[in-house]
Structure 1
């Protein structure tokens, strides 16, 4: 005879997203803010992809990886923000079970891919500074393609496979205290052992967040040692400037990821989780092109040349 828990698990076909359901002004303001941020994300990251593709002077490993980062940021924002905007515009938004899971897994996958890609970009900067004369030999296009594919593969194996291996079970309660199908929000509805779910989450977070972060720290420790050996102050300043944009992105992205996924989770309603989600899924992908373009003379120069050609 089927028990009540199994019956309830099979009954769930949709999730009701109830975040700020009693606060229409907050929902409207949040929808307007996310719309502006999403537009800035698509335009900014799309512009980087266009400029790097169109200008032959930017056809090198550094900008190849930057192009990959922009594509990931567009995808990360697109899978979560438009649906979140739509959810904020209705009092009781409903998402089918399958759509909710696709949104959640897409966020996990693209976020994990970005973690590993930032580690690859740190290694690229290390090679550029430690072996400038052999840089294009070491970072040839075959190596670049392999290093670009590796983050997508590693993120799937370490972030998605463990989740698919132990699928979540829900016991009838389908109201999500969020405006998006986000992992930590859905975890609070699981009827399975919460300790086991958190253990799996910490395991995957360690390998998809902390492991790439440690690789980045190692790369930058070697970069600092190399830079300190440069005799001229101008040479040291130039070497630091080539890493500044990437380092700024790393600090913002990993700082927020650690706060969101490695901090202890509870079943209590935490409005802070919603704003952390907005920052991670919407604001950070928009900040990346701003950081790279405002601090990078090559990208600004390429953009200026392309603009003059159009005129």
Structure 2
């Protein structure tokens, strides 16, 4: 659909996966399944941490924040994608598009920072275990999580500047959401400066968070290797495996798309690859943090027993 006047369209059209009609139904079904698992899994993590006294620890407090972020930044995009598919109306209003973009970038930036805070938590727990209760106090946990949310939302303001550009090439976005790179390709304004800002912001938040996380794990690995017993090394490292897995998945997919020059960007590649970090990773995170975590699994079965006992008492009465 063309839009040839030098102005901004009243709405955009989200192409989504309609360019591959034989795969569209499968991908939409996958979106539904992943979104339901994301909501259920992350809500379960939040409930377990909230009601299980043994999980009232800094690591789980930060994990509950991560679960909130996973729910919210998936909810910013996936429901609209599903609504467009089932109604047949693939449009999104001009203001709605940039509101979606702003909140998505905000939640994604917050996740970067929370993963860094969780790496710091593991660093203190393993490298300075005697000082852990003092260093990772309740106030420090609130400070780390609060700063992650605030900085994430402030850092994303630059994405709103794109709304000031003229969009005259087309109003069809080759994506299933209002993706930043896809929007820039539709603008007839000079986008060189904003692309430099985007690249710098990705380096500032993405790469700096990654480097801080990497440095934390260099110290952690060095400390673990100094532990004499094999069992002790295994136990220490097991407390980090979930976080390492989550970091690798999230950082790998996000950085591979956004921390590179626009000239080598493929919108088709970006669109299908972004399914991983928008829908799949938030689905996997609850499983990553629970399958190898004995405390979370104990809390889950304890909750199941309470629910089962409560239902039996209700039936008896």
RMSD of the alignment, in Å? 1.9
1:140 to 1:291, Cα distance in 2 relative to 1, 3 A: same
Q: Within 5 Å, which residues of 2 pair with 1:122-201?
A: 122-158=119-155, 160-164=156-160, 167-172=163-168, 173-201=170-198
Q: Greater shift after overlay, 207-216 or 82-91?
A: 82-91
The answer as to whether partners of 1:230 and 1:236 remain within 8 angstroms in 2 is yes
TM-score, length-normalised on structure 2? 0.91
The answer as to whether partners of 1:126 and 1:223 remain within 8 angstroms in 2 is yes
CA distance in 1, matches of 2:265, 2:129: 52
The answer as to whether partners of 1:21 and 1:91 remain within 8 angstroms in 2 is no
Picking from 269, 287, 291, the partner of 2:288 is: 291
The equivalent of 1:97 in structure 2 is: 94
Picking from 216, 220, 225, the partner of 1:223 is: 220
1:125 to 1:17, Cα distance in 2 relative to 1, 3 A: same
CA distance in 2, matches of 1:89, 1:24: 14
Q: Greater shift after overlay, 130-139 or 82-91?
A: 82-91
CA distance in 2, matches of 1:199, 1:154: 20
Deviations 1:67-103 (A, max 9, x none): 0000000001111111112223455511101111111
1:63 to 1:249, Cα distance in 2 relative to 1, 3 A: same
Shift of 1:224: 1.0
Shift of 1:155: 1.5
The answer as to whether partners of 1:168 and 1:192 remain within 8 angstroms in 2 is no
Tell me whether 1:242 sits opposite 2:236 in the alignment.
Answer: no
The answer as to whether partners of 2:253 and 2:274 remain within 8 angstroms in 1 is no
How many matched pairs? Answer: 304
CA distance in 2, matches of 1:267, 1:139: 42
Shift of 1:17: 1.6
CA distance in 2, matches of 1:138, 1:269: 45
CA distance in 1, matches of 2:307, 2:88: 46
Q: Which runs of 5+ in 1 are unaligned?
A: none
TM-score, length-normalised on structure 1? 0.92
Deviations 1:187-223 (A, max 9, x none): 1112222322221110110111101000000111111
Q: Within 5 Å, which residues of 2 pair with 1:245-284?
A: 245-266=242-263, 270-284=267-281
Matched residue SS, 2:289: helix
Shift of 1:293: 0.8
Shift of 1:168: 4.1
